[in-house]
Copies of this chain bind each other. A is one copy, B any other.
Amino acid sequence: MRDNAKTPERHAQRMSAKQKIMQERIARADKEQGVLLVLTGPGKGKSSSGFGMLARALGHGMKVGVVQFIKGRRETGEEAFFRQLPGVDYHVMGEGFTWDTQDRERDIQAAEAAWKIAGRMLEDPSFDLVLLDELNIALRYDCLDLDRVLDDLQARPDMQHVVVTGRYAPQHLIELADTVTEMKVVKHAFKDQGVKAQKGIEL
């Protein structure tokens, strides 16, 4: 199931469906649409940008969902902040999932459980914005079936925005996305200058 060999045909189908959607969009260009945004690349700011968009959406009274696909590696200021707010449905993938466990079956199970939650959000038009934080990493490590992820993203409600973060966004996700930003490292305090990584606020 995690073998992506069937991706090319499915990809062609998706691209053809996307072309049709885009043609319809252009025909009724006064209608607003949900946007699929991907934030990738090695530079700082991918997840924080996703969380900033979450804040912006909340400022507009929207309902948002968050699924974080990496637990443990990242610090948890966002979780402490957003989890308590009204209008936020916040999920962190099972504790066991760290990429460091070397327990691949457990990682896959955790990723699939997390995608189940994400998939329900992607079926529910009451969510105005869904943030899938570090999803690209789960895809990179081949812990989720890429076709299933792309199909669920494409089948989501018309007006729903989705933000996907993480290095190594797969090419087919980039093609499906509406907007893609790559974050480039110009300079990095910790790597370049030996400054100790900050506990708390990781800049």
Contact = CB atoms under 8 A, between A and B. Distances in A.
A58 B37 contact: no
Contacts of A202: 56
A203 B179 contact: yes
> How many copies of this chain are found per oligomer?
2
A81 B62 contact: no
A55 B53 contact: no
Contact of A184 (B41, B163, B189, B198): B41
A201 interface: yes
Contact of A55 (B55, B186, B188): B55
Q: How large is the interface on A (under 10, 10 to 19, 20 to 34, 35 or more residues)?
A: 35 or more
Contacts of A73: none
Given A128-B201, A198-B32, A193 B178 contact: yes
A5 interface: no
| 3 A-B pairs closest in CB distance | A48-B52, A59-B81, A59-B77
Interface of A: 22, 25-26, 29-33, 35, 37-41, 43-60, 62, 75-82, 128-129, 161, 163, 174, 177-190, 193-196, 198-203
